[in-house]
């Protein structure tokens, strides 16, 4: 059990084990990376209110005092406290918070406009934000992201990924997730899949364009419908049909064990074939079997 | 947050790696991963395009060794690297010491990768074929403006309507046929009942009449004194009449008395081999028709009955098995009956 108040850039090494991480900030940046050894906290930039850091029963919480729900109840007790609460919110608050926690941790990050980066975590990850950019790298558990205008970039993400956004662009680079759900209103969704194992992909947008790139030996049933958008594909197996204004791009790739479902009102939809791996890489994989973590080895 | 590892900086780092020694793409990725303390490996799909970009700018050249590309720094690349050496050194220290810098570097690189990927994919999307969209149909025209889809929808609807009509007609016909069958069966039953009753009353009346006539004959003979002749005559008459009665084909007795002359009873032959009354309706046959044809019809009706029962009750493997046994036994028996 520990409690710290951070009012200037600082570094804290936490000796107690950390299993869950909760971060709630306003602006700035939140970085969470997986690291061996004790958990570390770095606050490299701080403007405005001090941050409260608590570690209790393996739950590490980094937040402002009045952003904790229990404190919120305190602040509505009298007019003065309410005033000071909103006054506090009006003041500029900016913090760059970086944490290194064990890979298996459960991570929750909430912010208004902070850029959030989460890397190498195997436990469940949830990121909620309004306008901050979200970067996810090498996650293998369940990941939930909700943003309003912030872009979401995910690279080499496995497991289950769910993204909800209003106008942020969603981009998945070399994704190996078995389940991927992306919902967007006007943000585009670009998915690049680097796995031939059956994947369940589900994309819904209103006006956001959707592009999905799949390896050529994918096994999936494809169903992509758009009312107003153009449909295109480099897979010959996919055909366009439908009447009454709604067009549907559908067909089966390989044995059709996975699923790709795209629903959009006016967004364009394109399903592309991933270019074959460069020839020299395939040679190298044979020579260098000592790098099984690299996603490219799955292509051989 | 100041960009730590933007396009320029990763570029710089790539140049540094190639300055140390000529390397192939995979090695570059591995070394970058090491630099990120194993937390992050730039995707192969982004490193190769970057190397290609550097090559376009003339900072890097490649040669092919054993079927794979090996990249090396050019003179221009070396110059570029030396002018930014201090920047690079500073960056390296920052990244090694600070989670924030490391994460920042990862973020910059992923952002670049995502940008590159979007550019690449959306570029490819523009080139991708649009199956069947070349007919120039305006998607917003929908069912109103697009004649072809309107026509298609109309055709579908017409076809659907026709099918529905057809189905309704078929259902009606079936209903009518079922009604007719029921009525025919009822008529048949009524007819049989009436027949049986008529034959009974006719036989009773005939017997009564014979009795009366013979009584009268015997009385007359007895009154005439010649009662032995009368008895013999009466007995022979009785025998004749009764034998006529027993003959199922009897109609009006040849010597019908005047009082019974108006009465005419016709009876179809009652075959003793006729199936008992508790047989189902469908199993009744018309004895007057050609037996071979009747057998055919009987078989047809039998098949219909079995099929109807199967449709109503459903067929399970167990039921199929027992039906099979029953049919086999019946076929065997019929074979024996008809075969001889």
Cα four-point dihedral sign B291, B296, B302, B304: negative
Predicted confidence (pLDDT) at residue A229 exceeds the cutoff of 80: yes
Predicted confidence (pLDDT) at residue A289 exceeds the cutoff of 50: no
pTM beyond 0.90: no
pLDDT for the residue numbered A117? 93
pLDDT band at B328, cuts 50/70/90? Answer: confident
pLDDT band at B104, cuts 50/70/90? Answer: confident
Query: What span, in angstroms and rounded, lies between the C-alpha atoms of B104 and B95?
Result: 9
pLDDT in tens, B5-18: 444 667 788 888 88
Phi, psi torsion values for A78, nearest 5 degrees = -145, 165
pLDDT for the residue numbered B225? 67
Closest residue to A270, CB basis, from B102, B125, B152: B125
Given a contact cutoff of 8 angstroms between Cβ atoms, the answer to whether B137 and B149 are in contact is yes
Which range among A69-78, B56-65, B184-193, B230-239 shows the weakest confidence by mean pLDDT? A69-78
B133–A245 CB contact, under 8 Å: no
pLDDT for the residue numbered B253? 43
Predicted confidence (pLDDT) at residue B183 exceeds the cutoff of 80: yes
DSSP string covering B138-191, please? -GGGHHHH-HHHHHHHHHHHHHHHHHHHHHHHHHHHHHHHHHHHHHHHHHHHHH
Which range among A137-151, A163-177, B197-211 shows the weakest confidence by mean pLDDT? B197-211
pLDDT for the residue numbered B264? 47
Please measure the distance between the N-terminal and C-terminal CA atoms of chain A and give it in whole angstroms: 49
pLDDT for the residue numbered B277? 55
Q: Which chain A residues contact residue B130 at CB under 8 A?
A: 230-232, 240
B43–A28 CB contact, under 8 Å: no
Tokens, residue B245: 């009665």
pLDDT for the residue numbered A298? 43
pLDDT for the residue numbered B51? 84
| Average pLDDT of chain B, as a whole number | 76
State the pairing for strand pair A200-205/A179-184. parallel
For chain A, the maximum distance between any two Cα atoms, rounded to a whole number of angstroms, is 71
Closest residue to A278, CB basis, from B48, B131, B142: B48
Predicted confidence (pLDDT) at residue B223 exceeds the cutoff of 70: yes
Q: Report the share of chain B in percent with pLDDT over 70.
A: 74
Predicted confidence (pLDDT) at residue A97 exceeds the cutoff of 60: yes
Query: What span, in angstroms and rounded, lies between the C-alpha atoms of A114 and A10?
Result: 19
pLDDT for the residue numbered A125? 96
pLDDT for the residue numbered B126? 85
For residues B261 and B129, which has the higher predicted lDDT (pLDDT)?
B129
Task: State the count of interchain CB pairs (< 8 A) between A and B.
Answer: 200
pLDDT in tens, A231-247: 889 988 888 887 667 78
Predicted confidence (pLDDT) at residue B305 exceeds the cutoff of 80: yes
> For tokens 């680097």, what's the residue?
A194
Interface pTM (ipTM) of the complex?
Answer: 0.79
pLDDT for the residue numbered A134? 95
Range B84-110 average pLDDT? 78
pLDDT for the residue numbered B245? 62
pLDDT band at B297, cuts 50/70/90? Answer: confident
3-state secondary structure of B136: coil
pLDDT for the residue numbered B247? 52
B113–A211 CB contact, under 8 Å: no
B66–A268 CB contact, under 8 Å: no
For residues A285 and B209, which has the higher predicted lDDT (pLDDT)?
B209
**B67, closest residue in chain A (CA to CA):** A280
Query: Rg of chain B's alpha carbons, rounded to an integer?
Result: 54
């Amino acid at each position: 059990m520990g409690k710290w108040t951070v009012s200037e850039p600082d570094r804290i090494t936490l000796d107690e084990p950390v299993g869950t991480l909760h971060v709630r900030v306003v602006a700035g940046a939140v970085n969470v990376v997986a690291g061996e050894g004790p958990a570390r906290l770095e606050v490299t930039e701080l403007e405005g209110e001090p941050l409260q850091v608590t570690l209790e029963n393996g739950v590490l919480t980094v937040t402002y005092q009045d952003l904790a729900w229990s404190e919120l109840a305190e602040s509505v007790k009298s007019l003065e406290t309410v005033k000071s609460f909103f006054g506090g919110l009006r003041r500029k608050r900016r913090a760059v918070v970086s944490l290194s926690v064990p890979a298996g941790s459960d991570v929750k990050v909430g912010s208004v406009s902070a850029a959030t980066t989460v890397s190498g975590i195997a436990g469940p990850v949830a990121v909620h934000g309004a306008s901050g950019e979200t970067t996810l790298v090498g996650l293998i558990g369940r990941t939930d992201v909700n943003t309003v205008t912030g872009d979401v970039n995910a690279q080499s993400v496995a497991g289950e990924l769910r993204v909800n956004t209003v106008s942020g662009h969603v981009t998945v680079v070399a994704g190996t997730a078995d389940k991927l759900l992306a919902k967007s209103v006007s943000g585009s969704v670009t998915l690049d899949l680097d796995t031939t194992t059956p994947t369940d992909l589900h994309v819904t947008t209103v006006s956001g364009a959707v592009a999905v790139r799949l390896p050529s030996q994918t096994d999936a049933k494809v169903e992509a419908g758009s009312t107003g958008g153009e449909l295109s594909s480099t897979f010959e197996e996919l055909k366009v049909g439908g009447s009454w204004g709604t067009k549907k791009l559908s067909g089966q790739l390989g044995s059709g064990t996975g699923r790709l479902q795209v629903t959009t009102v006016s967004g364009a939809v394109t399903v592309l074939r991933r270019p074959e791996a460069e020839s020299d890489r395939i040679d190298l994989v044979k020579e260098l079997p000592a790098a099984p973590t690299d996603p490219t080895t799955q292509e051989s | 947050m100041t960009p730590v590892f933007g396009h320029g900086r990763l570029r710089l780092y790539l140049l540094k790696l190639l300055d140390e020694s000529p390397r192939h793409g995979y090695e570059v990725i591995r070394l970058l991963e090491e630099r990120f303390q194993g937390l992050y490996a730039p995707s192969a799909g982004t490193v190769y395009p970057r190397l290609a970009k550097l090559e376009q700018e003339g900072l890097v050249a490649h040669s092919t060794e054993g079927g794979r590309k090996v990249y090396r720094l050019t003179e221009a690349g070396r110059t570029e690297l030396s002018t930014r050496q201090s920047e690079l050194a500073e960056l390296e220290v920052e990244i090694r010491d600070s989670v924030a810098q490391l994460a920042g570097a990862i973020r910059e690189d992923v952002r670049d990768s995502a940008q590159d990927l979007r550019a690449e994919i959306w570029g490819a999307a523009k080139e991708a074929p649009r199956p069947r969209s070349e007919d120039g149909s305006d998607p917003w025209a929908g069912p109103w403006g697009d004649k072809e889809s309107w026509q298609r929808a109309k055709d579908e609807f017409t076809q659907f309507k026709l099918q529905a009509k057809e189905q309704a007609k078929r259902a009606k016909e079936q209903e009518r046929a079922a009604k007719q069958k029921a009525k025919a069966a009822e008529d048949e039953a009524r007819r049989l009942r009436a027949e049986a009753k008529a034959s009974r009353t006719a036989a009773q009346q005939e017997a009564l009449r014979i009795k009366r006539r013979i009584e009268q004959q015997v009385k007359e003979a007895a009154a005439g004194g010649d009662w032995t002749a009368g008895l013999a005559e009466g007995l022979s008459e009785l025998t004749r009449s009764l034998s006529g009665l027993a003959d199922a084909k009897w109609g009006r007795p040849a010597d019908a008395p005047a009082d019974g002359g108006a009465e005419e009873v016709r009876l179809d032959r009652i075959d003793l081999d006729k199936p008992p009354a508790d047989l189902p309706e469908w199993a009744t046959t018309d004895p007057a028709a050609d037996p071979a044809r009747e057998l055919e019809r009987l078989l047809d009706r039998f098949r219909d009955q079995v099929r109807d029962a199967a449709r109503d009750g459903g067929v399970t493997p167990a039921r199929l098995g027992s039906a099979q046994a029953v049919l086999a036994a019946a076929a065997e028996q019929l074979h024996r009956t008809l075969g001889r």
